[in-house]
């Protein structure tokens, strides 16, 4: 029986193999990893995967790059990401530790691919706590790299670290770290990237992190603490260059008053939707709803609603507005998150949302 071609490739994937043969072998593997069938084939070859991981630090830049790109493709598949997480590189306890070392090295070329792999792996809900066990001792170092946009000296931007923090913030352990470290210094460092115009990946990562915090009611008062000024970061992407009457303008956060004529709204529909989901969650408690009203959130959403075209985002906007325009006597609950909605009403509301989206799609 002839030997499997992939098994034959192993001899060309050793650190001391001829450079030209390593190039040819990795070019083939990059292509193979571009399809689901190819990924499934690769995952059956532990020795091949191990060689690819070791070659991510090859002394030849192009070899290391192709090894990383192969892992980007494999980990983009959830099963592939879970399998790669099981591997133990020669010098590290697991692949995450290896990748962190690359991120923290300012001279590491193709560190953007490294960040993409980390983003893919930390997206695994079932493996998140395993990831955090490795990452948490160096989270402050990783965060400092993230906020220093000129950290990498080889041209890598490291934008996907934003997605990594967003993924990690699905864990209560990371939400606690974000809000209690020194205190809430990590959160303060991340907030400015909610409005970082140079990269929607960084913006989305920062907004996603705030949104995940908002899903935990215990952090609502902290998030709306004037010292954080979080409403400025959340409302700014939803605002254009519209004028407000003076009495409405005076309620807005200071830095959002009288914006320049060239001001434009967030172009990424997913980011806009995440912001509205965050505002919705912040409407849960009465005292937080009052803060949102006192800071002109309704006025911003009123103007934003005239501009938005996406049906799902329009619905998300209306869900917030419907709460804020009501008097508290009409809302009828101190904390909406603990209101027990009967199952038949849930189905009715879901049907109403479905009908809204269908009607909007037909327009």
Please indicate, yes or no, if residue 233 is contained in any of the structural domains: yes
Residue 147: inside a domain, yes or no?
A: no
Collect all residues with Cβ–Cβ distance below 8 Å to 169 and sequence separation of at least 6: 175, 178, 208, 209, 212, 213
Q: Which two tokens stand for residue 23?
A: 């190039």
CA quadruple 81, 153, 147, 277: dihedral sign: negative
Per the structure, the count of domains in the chain is: 1
Return the pLDDT at 91. 77
- Mean pLDDT computed over every residue of the chain: 91
Query: H or E stretch including 195?
Result: none
Residue 362 is predicted with a pLDDT of 56
In this prediction, residues 130-151 reach a mean pLDDT of 96
Asked if residue 336 is part of any domain, the answer here is no
* DSSP 8-state class, residue 3: P
Give the CA angle between residues 67, 161, 193 to the nearest 5°: 150
Asked if residue 118 is part of any domain, the answer here is: no
Dihedral sign for Cα 325, 329, 334, 339, please.
Answer: negative
CA angle 336, 339, 344 (to 5 degrees): 120
Q: Which tens digits make up the pLDDT trace of 328-339?
A: 777 767 767 664
User: pLDDT confidence of 187, banded at 50, 70, 90?
Assistant: very high
Token pair 């303008």 in the structure block, residue = 249
Distance of CA 113 to the CA centre of its chain: 16
Percent of the chain with pLDDT over 70: 91
Q: Does any domain span residue 235?
A: yes
Which pLDDT value is given to residue 151?
97
1, part of any domain: no
The least confident of 3-7, 249-253, 354-358 is 354-358
Q: Residue 355 has what pLDDT?
A: 53
Supply the pLDDT for residue 272: 98
Q: Quick check: is 228 in a domain?
A: yes
Domain contains 288? yes
**Alpha-carbon span 273 to 265, nearest angstrom:** 13
Range of the domain at 252: 221-331+343-363
């Amino acid at each position: 029986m002839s030997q499997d071609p992939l098994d034959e490739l192993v001899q060309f994937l050793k650190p001391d193999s001829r450079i030209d043969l390593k190039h040819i072998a990795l070019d083939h593997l990059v292509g193979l990893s571009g399809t689901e069938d190819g990924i499934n084939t690769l995952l059956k070859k532990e020795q091949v995967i191990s060689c690819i991981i070791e070659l991510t630090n090859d002394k030849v830049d192009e070899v290391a790059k192709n090894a990383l790109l192969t892992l980007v493709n494999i980990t983009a598949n959830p099963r592939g990401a879970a399998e790669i997480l099981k591997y133990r590189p020669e010098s590290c306890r697991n692949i995450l530790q290896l990748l962190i070392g690359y991120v923290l090295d300012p001279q590491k070329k193709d560190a953007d691919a490294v960040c993409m792999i980390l983003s893919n792996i930390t997206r695994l809900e079932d493996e998140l706590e395993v990831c955090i066990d490795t990452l948490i001792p160096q989270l402050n170092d990783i965060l400092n790299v993230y906020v220093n946009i000129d950290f990498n000296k080889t041209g890598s931007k490291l934008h996907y670290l934003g997605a990594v923090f967003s993924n990690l913030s699905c864990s209560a352990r990371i939400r606690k770290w974000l809000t209690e470290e020194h205190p809430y210094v990590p959160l303060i460092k991340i907030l400015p990237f909610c409005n970082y115009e140079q990269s929607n990946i960084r913006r989305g990562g920062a907004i996603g992190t705030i949104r995940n915090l908002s899903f935990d009611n215990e952090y609502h008062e902290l998030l709306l603490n004037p010292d954080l000024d979080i409403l400025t970061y959340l409302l700014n992407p939803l605002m254009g260059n519209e004028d407000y009457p003076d009495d409405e303008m005076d309620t807005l956060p200071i830095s959002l008053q009288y914006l320049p004529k060239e001001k434009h709204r967030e172009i990424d529909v997913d980011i806009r939707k995440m912001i509205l989901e965050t505002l919705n969650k912040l409407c849960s408690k009465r005292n937080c709803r009052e803060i949102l009203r006192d800071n002109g959130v309704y006025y911003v959403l009123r103007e934003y609603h005239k501009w938005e075209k996406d049906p799902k985002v329009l619905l998300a906007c209306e869900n917030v507005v419907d709460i804020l325009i009501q008097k508290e006597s009409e809302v009828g609950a101190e904390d909406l998150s603990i209101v027990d909605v009967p199952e038949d009403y849930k189905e009715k509301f879901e049907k109403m949302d479905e009908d809204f989206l269908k009607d909007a799609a037909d327009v």
